[in-house]
């Protein structure tokens, strides 16, 4: 089955938004950044340096899941950047849909820390990276997911995703 929704997942700073936008552009699919679904209280909490709890995350995940449901109801495709760090979060996002594929952008802490330190105007402080790695449950073998290294350039990462999923760029 060909995916109708790709969720680009991983810890903060791994490149979810950059890769997700590039995938959406290449595929001709709508791209949405999961950060835009956060309630203002979540953003304020993260800006203050406090990690989110599961209770903080449920309304955020439910808003993204509702967007996925709406896209599927409209027979549309989407790429979403969302940390989806725990399996329970991924299960909540995909619901009963068998055509939601997770793209886990995986990389070492040193590389991701350097990328986070270099970015400007993002609400997630570098100090929360440890909590992101502590929370991360990489996708299990029984989940519909692929793993892609973030060591390469965004175009290389997108090419890897397309190769692993069998999806074709919109212009191909």
Judge contact between 38 and 110, C-beta under 8 A: no
Task: Give the tens place of pLDDT for each residue, 63-112.
Answer: 999 999 999 999 999 999 999 999 999 999 999 999 999 999 999 887 77
pLDDT digits (tens, 9 = 90+) for 9-59: 999 888 899 999 999 999 999 999 998 999 999 988 888 888 788 999 999
What is the tens place of the pLDDT at every residue in 79-93? Answer: 999 999 999 999 999
Helices 54-73, 87-94: crossing angle, 10 deg rounding: 30
Please identify which residue in the block is written with the tokens 């760090």.
85
pTM, two decimals, is: 0.89
Side-chain-side CA neighbours of residue 22 (13 Å): 16
Q: Assess contact for 87 and 143: CB atoms under 8 A.
A: yes
Q: What is the CATH number of domain 5-165?
A: 3.40.50.300
């Amino acid at each position: 089955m060909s995916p109708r929704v790709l969720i680009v997942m991983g810890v903060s700073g791994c490149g979810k938004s950059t890769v997700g936008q590039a995938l959406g552009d290449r595929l001709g699919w709508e791209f949405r950044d999961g950060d835009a679904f956060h309630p203002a209280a979540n953003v304020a909490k993260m800006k203050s340096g406090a990690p989110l709890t599961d209770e903080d995350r449920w309304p955020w995940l439910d808003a993204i899941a509702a967007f996925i449901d709406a896209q599927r109801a409209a027979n549309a495709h989407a790429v979403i950047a969302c940390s989806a760090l725990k399996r329970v979060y991924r299960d909540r996002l995909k619901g009963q849909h068998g055509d939601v594929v997770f793209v886990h952008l995986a990389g070492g802490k040193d590389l991701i820390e350097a990328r986070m330190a270099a970015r400007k105007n993002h609400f997630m402080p570098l100090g929360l990276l440890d909590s992101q790695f502590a929370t991360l449950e990489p996708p299990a073998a029984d989940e519909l997911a692929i793993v892609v290294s973030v060591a390469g350039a965004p175009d290389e990462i997108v090419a890897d995703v397309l190769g692993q999923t069998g999806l074709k760029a919109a212009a191909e």
